[in-house]
Amino acid sequence: MARGQRKTIEEKISAKQELIDALMTRVESEKRELEELYQEKKRKELEAVSDLIQDSGMQPDEVAAVLQQYLSGRSA
């Protein structure tokens, strides 16, 4: 049975390079999406803290002082 025309080594190299380039583009895209997810997570965490501060009726500087006092007590 006759086989189809075989690819030259140059064609194989070119095809492999194209595949790698496409994969690198995909990896970069996935990294960007991952970074966006981390940023969204951080925003949600900050919103939760902001809501807690607002619900407490304290000012942000008061909350910072309380946290600093707590942290100082933990390390002693």
pLDDT, tens digit, 9 for 90 and up, residues 18-44: 999 999 999 999 999 999 999 999 999
Which tokens is 13 given? 């190299």
pLDDT for residue 3: 66
Q: What percent of the chain has pLDDT over 70?
A: 93
Measured between alpha carbons, how far is 45 from 62 in angstroms, rounded to an integer? Answer: 19
Distances (CA, A) of 57 to 47, 63, 64, 66: 16, 10, 13, 13
What is the pTM for the complete model shown? 0.67
Q: What percent of the chain has pLDDT over 90?
A: 84
Which alpha helices (DSSP H) does the chain contain, by range?
Answer: 9-56, 60-75
